[in-house]
Structure 1
C-alpha cells in the first residue's frame, strides 16, 4: 500500500487534508516522477495513486469535453478529488458582475461528470485586477452553492495588494468562499479562513532540494495544514481580519504549484508522509 493510500484510509469524512500538484502531463516528470516505460495515457492513473488531489489547469484556458471528465473520474481512486481552475472568461473581465453567462456555461460543460471527485473551483484573477467591493460582491453572488443538487465549493485567487482589506475578507465569509492562500510566492498572502475549507497553493520548490523544499519548510507546511484541519489557524501566516468563529474541523486542499516544477510531485508526496493521520 502506498503512503498516499494509507493516508487516505486513516481519515474520516469529517476533515480531510488533500495534497496534490497542478496537472499531470509534464514531460520533465518522466523519469524523476513517472517510472520508465509508463505510457502517457497511464500517467493520471499513476499520479492519482501517489497524491490525493490534482488541480486541473486546462479548464482555465478552454472548455473541456464531458467525456474527458468522465474518463478522469474512472481512472482515479474512489476517494481522489480534482479541483478545477475556472475559465478565465469569467474572471478576466472589467465588470465581474457580468460574468453570469460564463459561469453557467462552465458548469454546463460537463464538470459534474466528475461526480463525487469534483472538489473546489479556483477562480483565479489577473495580477492587475484590483478590489472593488461592490463588483466583487456581485461576482460572489453569481457563484452557485449547488448545481443539479451537488454542493459546490469555491475559492478565489486574488493577486493584487488591494485585496488585503478587511472588507474583502468579510465578503468572502458572508458568501462562504475561500481565499487561496499564496505560499512562498510573490503574490500577496491572505491567510484568513473564510469558508468551511482551506485552499493553499505553495510555490517555493527549488532545484537544489531533492524534495523541492527543505525538511524544515516541509515540516512547516505540514504543521499548517494540520492546524487548519483541526479548526485552528497557523500562527506564522499573516491574516487581515480577526474572526471569533470557531470550527471543529475543516477540509484542506494544498497544492504544490510553480516553483521548480520538476520537484513538485516529490514535495507533494513528502508532505503526505509528514501529515500522516489527519484530524477527523
Structure 2
C-alpha cells in the first residue's frame, strides 16, 4: 500500500453520543478534541447547512492534532437549492466562509447531490469547471463573494498553495451509466462509494487519485452497526484501493452512537496512522 488511509465519522456533534461514546461529563466544546485523539479525520458537515465562520474553522483546527484532516461538505444551497446551476457566486461565498483557514488540515470537499437530481453531463461538467483545484485558486474565487458574506466575515487568503480534491455523491439511478464514470475521470473528481443499505443506487469505482467512502448504515440510512464480516469486506476493498490511492472513509450511521465505534473497529483492520492518546479529564 502506498496510499494514505483515513477513517472517521460524518460529523461529531450528536447528543446521543454523549455517554455512549463520549465520556460522561465531557463538555461539548471538547468533543472534537476527544474524537480527534481516536481517529485521523472527520467529515465537517455543518458547512452543508449554512456558511460557517472563519473563527469556527480556526477553532476546529486548533482543537485537533497536527496530522488531523477535515473533509468539508459543500453547501446544500449549491447542490440542493441551486442544483449546480448559476453557482459561481454561491461557490465564492462558500470558499470565502473560512474553509481556507483550516490550512494544512483541509482535506477533500464532498458534494452530495439530492436524490431527485438526474444525470446531466453538461450541468456536471460546467460545475466541475468552476471548482478550484488549488488553495490559491480557491482564494481568488473567494474574493468574488457578494454581500451575503460581508467583508469582515470573509476569508480570502491562503497560507500556501496546496492542491484541492473534490468528491461527488449521487443518489439517482440515472447515474448508473459508464459515461458518468468517464466524466468524473476526465475532470479528476472522485466518485463517492456510498453504502445506503439499498436506499439509493450503489456505485463503486475509483475515478481520481483518491477514493472516498461513506457508510450510512447496514440496516437503513443512519441505522445499524456494521458486523465484523462486513467490516472485513470493507477493509479488503480499502486495501485494494490504497495500493496506489489515498482513501477517506466516513461512517454516517450516527444513530445509537455506532458510527464512532465502527470507525475505530475498521481502523484496527487497516494500516492507518496510529491514534494519538487523549488526556481529557471529564468536566462536571
- When normalised by structure 2's length, the TM-score is 0.82
Q: Tell me the equivalent position of 2:252.
A: 257
Q: Tell me the equivalent position of 2:208.
A: 195
| Contact 1:91-1:99 at 8 Å conserved across structures | no
How far residue 110 of structure 1 moved from its aligned partner, in angstroms, is 0.9
| Contact 1:206-1:260 at 8 Å conserved across structures | no
Residues 36 and 93 of structure 1: is their aligned pair in 2 closer, same or farther, counting only changes over 3 Å?
Answer: closer
- In structure 1, what is the Cα distance between the partners aligned to 2:128 and 2:43? 21
How far residue 277 of structure 1 moved from its aligned partner, in angstroms, is 5.2
Q: Tell me the equivalent position of 1:165.
A: 177
Q: Tell me the equivalent position of 2:8.
A: 20
- In structure 1, what is the Cα distance between the partners aligned to 2:82 and 2:99? 26
Pick the aligned partner of 1:275 from 254, 261, 270. Answer: 270
Q: Tell me the equivalent position of 1:245.
A: none
Confirm whether residue 144 of structure 1 aligns to residue 132 of structure 2: yes
Number of residue equivalences = 245
- In structure 2, what is the Cα distance between the partners aligned to 1:61 and 1:138? 23
- In structure 1, what is the Cα distance between the partners aligned to 2:135 and 2:271? 33
Runs of 4+ in 1 over 6 A off after TM superposition: none
Residues 99 and 175 of structure 1: is their aligned pair in 2 closer, same or farther, counting only changes over 3 Å?
Answer: same
Residues 136 and 93 of structure 1: is their aligned pair in 2 closer, same or farther, counting only changes over 3 Å?
Answer: farther
Aligned CA RMSD, in angstroms, stands at 1.9
3-state SS of 2:92 partner: helix
Q: Tell me the equivalent position of 1:224.
A: 237
1:21-79 deviation digits (Å, cap 9, x = unpaired): 11111111111211122111110000011111111111011110001000100110111
Pick the aligned partner of 1:183 from 177, 195, 199. Answer: 195
How far residue 104 of structure 1 moved from its aligned partner, in angstroms, is 1.6
Residues 141 and 97 of structure 1: is their aligned pair in 2 closer, same or farther, counting only changes over 3 Å?
Answer: farther
3-state SS of 1:265 partner: helix
Pick the aligned partner of 2:55 from 62, 67, 84. Answer: 67
How far residue 103 of structure 1 moved from its aligned partner, in angstroms, is 1.2
- In structure 2, what is the Cα distance between the partners aligned to 1:104 and 1:254? 27
